Structure 1
Amino acid sequence: MEFDVVDLSRLQFAMTALYHFLFVPLTIGLSVLLATMETVYVMTGREIWKRMVKFWGTLFGINFVLGVATGLTMEFQFGMNWAYFSQFVGDVFGAPLAIEGLMAFFLEATFVGLFFFGWDKLSRRQHLAATWAVAIGTNLSALWILIANGWMQHPVGSVFNPDTMRMEVSSFYDVLFNPVAQAKFVHTVSAGYITAAMFMLGISAWYMLQGRHVRIAKRSMAIASAFGFASALSVVVLGDESGYEANLNQKMKLATIEAMWETEPAPASFNLVAWPDMKGRDNLFAIEVPFVMGLIATRSLDTVIPGIKDLVEHSKDRIVQGAIAWDALQKIRSDPKGVDEEVRNTFARNSESLGYAYLLLPFTDNPMEATADQVDAAAWSTVPNVLPMFYAFRIMVACGFFFILMTAVFFYYSSSGQLDALREKRRWLLHIAVWSIPLPWIACEMGWFVAEYGRQPWIIESMLPTAVGVSSLSVTEVLLTLAGFVALYSTLLVIEVALMIKYVRIGPDDGDPADPSSETSPRPVSGAAPVPAE
């Protein structure tokens, strides 16, 4: 029954996190695109760019509000569903979340108000500064959240205190500049940029197919394709960096992503297509590309990538070592002041493997008395289900290369002044752009699935199993909150989609197409020099 609570708690957090991340990437990307378009408006004085900022800003606002609402719910779940986790990591995990709330969130929220209500109260440059502050705040918010998440993937700059049973910060610098967190930040932000670019590209393509708002659609398509092409290239490059960090710090995750059961001679081959079999602990079939995996994951020709089976054997050794640490910890907890110094030394020598001892608790109450079969079962519990990991990663990668192709094609047509040719001769490209709007969200969700499910069974990599961090709740209590979240979030999703569709159908203000002056500001604005008509 206890593990039913764990599974339900995991399901609830996964549902709310994946739902929340439907809004995050679009918010991150659109904020930068809005600031870029408004910069063009301030530099040129052309009124059409202001109308573009207002239109895309409306869609940004709808997305932003629901993103904030769903994000707050997630943070409350730490105390509600994961009480021991919150106690265990509070000294480390709380700092990035507090900074995110105090600095990034309030900065972002304050200037969002100025963005929407300051058009007639601020000068052009002042309003532009507010828009850039929104973009900076949005990205800073992502930074601090990903520093916290990166620490869960690679817990550096901290030590476990056996007297308090908590993790304590030993170097905030190491927490802040954790290489896993930095790689996740730049990769996630770039994914947000491509999400916004494909969103803008698809809606602009729909307007061109409809023959509506063509002037704004063409300009939006030009900026989205250029921004999106650069972002799509960076996503692939930065994703490679994340893979390299996984090989250094999360070898089991990398092995399951590649369905690599056996350790191969360097450089390892890449499984292009395979069908992993968890029961047989092998691939039923695989199409391999020689050398590619070794080059991607190690950036060398002679570094060996360990396979799943060898990593399981390594886990067995750490489980045995962790049981020694667990036994010493029980003695320290029973008599913190009178415990023998040798016991503390024994714990210190084996403390890095303590988390592995907790993997034995589903099988025995005393890890020191575990049988060989129980150690084997605990070691194999460190292997996530390989099949969903394997294909989730490949769906994400396939989407990434598709985005490069799509944005490159539209960038070519926009930079060469041939966008009108799309409406006349290659309407199928516009249709593809429209139908591609959901793909960035699919890629983002697959990426988070790989990152979080691939870490299992750990809630903190190699230190705290997920099953240990859960709150003492009943199945009924978790089911009730899960049902409540599903109902609430489903309602919010319907509202979000309905509002987006409504304002996309209404479309932007075109001004007066017959009046050339409609593309220029009709009067000087305080803080900016008048700009001649084009």
Structure 2
Amino acid sequence: MDVLDLARWQFGITTVYHFILVPLTIGLSTLVAIMQTAWVRTGKEKYLRLTKFYGKLLLINFALGIATGIVQEFQFGMNWSEYSRFVGDVFGAPLAIEALAAFFLESVFLGLWIFGWDRLPKKVHLMTVWAFAIGSFLSAYFIIAANSWMQHPVGAVYNPETGRAEMTDIWAVLTNNTTLVAFPHVIATAFLVAGTFVAGIAVYWMVRLARQNKEHQDLPMYRTAARFGAVVMLLSGLGVIVTGDLQAKLMFEQQPIKMAAAEGLIETPEGCAPFSILTVGDLSGSNPESVNHILEVPCLLSYMATGSWDGEVKGLADLQEIYAERYGETDLNGNEIEYRPNLMVTYWSFRLMIGLAAFSAALCVAIFWFTRKGRVTDQPWMKKLAIIALPMPFAAASFGWIFTEMGRQPFVVAPNPTGYDSVMLMTMFGVSEATTVWHVALSLTAFTLVYGVLAVFWYRLMHRYAVEGAPEAHYDEPTDDDDSADKPMSFAY
């Protein structure tokens, strides 16, 4: 393996690990804020206990997300310094805004929320968790804006004298149509992850307590949390479907080769293009005759790509010729450029992204049915379903990002033929010229080991506090006569 391969592996490993944590932070911050709002409005203790319970899990996840996210910034300037040199003026702007505005907003108000339980008035304290949630949304938006520019560059020009892309319109970068479609899809996914997380843990506890004692005092609390998570899953699932459909059609316009790769479509079909459920054969494209679509839905790919059941979707063989004619047939060493992404990865990651969400749908339906009319359930299979479903949207979200990034290859900044085709960069030209195989191999090994250790800590902490259940909670709102102002602030969790 050369430097490019190792650098891609390192960035892929660290990014996927980091993104496992991100959707839960985005979605759960809002759900915890809603729980605390319910407590402030109703005064019911169960909402306070749920806020403290899921709030602790949120803090663990957020802390690990920060630790793993820091590495991403360093990689841009080390393994991918040529990429940073080329796009730094554009790509760095939304990332800088994210760090200076959104992330500091998150951090400041999260600190006030953690330490302000017995120091701030109830409604003021509630505002801090909502500010934290808003900061999470803003942080996601600016990062997605940066990534969307890589998928569909706008608002920039290529300066041949400096060999760099230079920003001409930051508003165009921040309102990129790719961003405006990708952001709601990511947010809907985050709520699906968080809703499944809340519901899965609540169902686990509801079944566990119901099997011990059908009259247990905590059963209504966990039933409330389970149904709340189910409502979030239902609404966010619909959001994922609608925004995913919009994103697929926009992706087909901007990166048609990615859509063909998602289907493993080698040859352009006569008539409409089907969507396969299962395909076997050589997905590398070197032997198209070996590819066999065993199960397929007629014309579905045409609709997903074009909005028409008989729309044309070009195959990879034709698109390879089009891309080669437009962007060049060979690289600097005279080797033929392969514009087709890794089909095995894109094909299966696309299907896993969609298919794994079915577990959340199954859990959602089961919760609504078995907790209707004030009921609770003690069915052991329900607890097993909750445990199985809980990690599935995490995996689905990760496979979605794998598809998004791998489907863009061999470009790290994809070409945009509508006036921005010169502002593009192939992945092989983005890697640093100063790093060696040993440099990247050592850092790859170190990061993988460190991330492995962090994964163990993350799981053990999340598992430990999840199986402890919702803590007993008591709240005394501070008053002007309270002498606690002289006491040091304490960690409320």
For the criterion TM > 0.5, the same-fold answer is: yes
CA distance in 1, matches of 2:298, 2:234: 29
Match of 2:331 among 333, 344, 360: 360
Cα pair 2:4 2:428 within 8 Å, conserved? yes
Q: Which 10-residue stretch deviates more, 426-435 or 489-498?
A: 426-435
Cα pair 2:121 2:477 within 8 Å, conserved? no
**Where do 5+ consecutive residues of structure 2 fail to align?**
210-215, 416-423, 481-493
Cα pair 2:60 2:461 within 8 Å, conserved? yes
Q: Does 1:470 align with 2:431?
A: yes
Q: CA deviation at 1:395?
A: 1.3
Deviations 1:303-339 (A, max 9, x none): 32111111011022113xxxxxxxxxxxxxxxxxxxx
Give the 3 Å change call, closer, same or farther, for CA 144–283 of structure 1 in structure 2. Answer: farther
SS at match of 2:277: strand
CA distance in 2, matches of 1:163, 1:411: 63
Q: CA deviation at 1:12?
A: 0.5
Q: Residues 64-463 of structure 1: matches in 2 within 5 Å?
A: 64-211=62-209, 213-277=218-282, 278=284, 279-286=286-293, 287-319=295-327, 356=328, 360-361=331-332, 363-364=333-334, 374=335, 377-378=336-337, 381-414=338-371, 416-418=373-375, 420=376, 422-423=377-378, 426-462=379-415, 463=424
SS at match of 2:279: strand
> Taking every aligned residue pair, what percent have the same amino acid on both sides?
39
Q: CA deviation at 1:413?
A: 4.0
CA distance in 2, matches of 1:282, 1:388: 20
Q: CA deviation at 1:254?
A: 0.5
Q: How many residues align?
A: 461
Give the 3 Å change call, closer, same or farther, for CA 444–508 of structure 1 in structure 2. Answer: same
CA distance in 2, matches of 1:282, 1:24: 41
Cα pair 1:274 1:283 within 8 Å, conserved? no
CA distance in 1, matches of 2:449, 2:325: 46
Give the 3 Å change call, closer, same or farther, for CA 239–276 of structure 1 in structure 2. Answer: farther
Cα pair 1:236 1:400 within 8 Å, conserved? no
Partner letter of residue 12 of structure 2? A
CA distance in 2, matches of 1:143, 1:242: 16
CA distance in 2, matches of 1:501, 1:401: 24
Cα pair 1:25 1:196 within 8 Å, conserved? yes
SS at match of 1:271: strand
Cα pair 2:273 2:310 within 8 Å, conserved? no
CA distance in 1, matches of 2:253, 2:448: 37
CA distance in 2, matches of 1:414, 1:109: 38
CA distance in 1, matches of 2:142, 2:271: 37
Q: CA deviation at 1:453?
A: 0.8
**Where do 5+ consecutive residues of structure 1 fail to align?**
320-355, 365-373, 512-517, 528-534
Partner letter of residue 267 of structure 1? C
Give the 3 Å change call, closer, same or farther, for CA 95–299 of structure 1 in structure 2. Answer: same
Cα pair 1:262 1:306 within 8 Å, conserved? yes
Cα pair 1:458 1:466 within 8 Å, conserved? yes
Q: Which 10-residue stretch deviates more, 122-131 or 203-212?
A: 203-212
Cα pair 1:261 1:282 within 8 Å, conserved? no
CA distance in 2, matches of 1:413, 1:174: 49
Over alpha carbons, which structure has the higher Rg? 1
SS at match of 1:128: helix
CA distance in 1, matches of 2:365, 2:305: 27
Q: CA deviation at 1:215?
A: 3.5
Cα pair 1:275 1:387 within 8 Å, conserved? no
Cα pair 2:24 2:190 within 8 Å, conserved? yes
CA distance in 1, matches of 2:368, 2:234: 7
Partner letter of residue 413 of structure 2? I
Deviations 1:15-46 (A, max 9, x none): 10011012101101110100111111111111
CA distance in 2, matches of 1:183, 1:412: 33
